[in-house]
Amino acid sequence: MRFFLLGSTLLALALGAGMALMLEAGRRLGVRRMARDHEGARAGMGAVEGAHFALLGLLIAFTFSGAAARFDARRALIVEEANAIGTAWLRLDLLPDDARGDLRALFPPYVEARIAAYRALPDVEAARAQLARAADLQAAIWARAVAAVRAGDSQSATMLLLPALNQMFDIGTARTAAARMHPPVVIYVMLVGLSLVSALLVGYAMAGARARSLLHMAAFAFMMAISIYVIFDLEFPRAGLIRIDAADAPLVELRDGMKGR
């Protein structure tokens, strides 16, 4: 987490510094242009600036909206997984006592591995190790459940327990896929590039003033850098300042309840 925070903070600072430089460069270009052609320096610029800032605004809005939607979807999947595991856990009561005990012993470590896999992020290797452990436990749970259903010859257990286990595993796969789902890198490159070009145009537009407005220049660079930083943070809610860890509470409570039985 510390490395991610350091990297994202440095990225935001670099973007803010780059925008400040582009603001100054744009202002100097504007001053030179106005010195040569004072009347025509701003001719036709309004349409270009309007189109550019409209594109930048749309890109920020869509990337922010998409990141927020994925953040909410990941939280919802945690609740769905907890509900699915809880349902499968309760339906173990349909099995004979000897088979039920063996399966119940596998559920707490499975839930623990699922929790640990996501809390290990942004350490991808540690997360993969926990996911592999969960996959092994998943295979063991399924094999023992199928064997228990066959041995018990219970129609209700076959119809209720196995579909519940299948749903539990499917939601786990859906969570893993959701964690890996991000926009193409070119979207972020385009966002950063448009932000820098917008700073150049803003600096050019400020060339008509006799003195620099450091307040406006700093505010523009700061707010743009912070906005893009927040978008990145929403996209990686296990690594930055915006955290999704609190959403793990249903799984943690479920695991603790299983250990108490």
Among 90, 113, 109, which Cα is nearest to 100's? 90
- Exposure string of 146-162, with b = 16+ CB inside 10 Å and e = fewer, is eebbeebebeebbebbb
pLDDT by position in tens, the chain (length 261): 555 555 677 788 888 889 989 988 988 887 787 777 656 555 556 777 888 888 999 999 999 999 999 999 999 999 999 999 999 999 998 888 777 888 899 999 999 999 999 988 888 899 999 999 999 999 999 999 988 888 766 677 778 889 999 999 999 999 999 988 989 989 999 999 999 999 988 888 887 667 777 888 888 888 988 998 899 888 888 877 888 888 899 999 999 988 766
Dihedral over Cα of 26, 28, 31, 34: its sign: negative
Q: pTM of the predicted model, to two decimals?
A: 0.82
In the block, tokens 């490395």 appear at 3
Spatial separation of the C-alpha atoms in residues 26 and 11, rounded to whole Å:
22
Q: Where are the domains of the chain?
A: 2-35+44-259
The values of phi and psi at residue 213, to 5°, are -100, 90
Q: List pLDDT tens digits, range 161-178.
A: 899 999 999 999 999 999
Q: Residue 252: name the closest of 141, 118, 161, 73 by CA.
A: 118
Condensed to tens digits (0 to 9), the pLDDT of residues 110-134 reads: 999 999 999 888 888 999 999 999 9
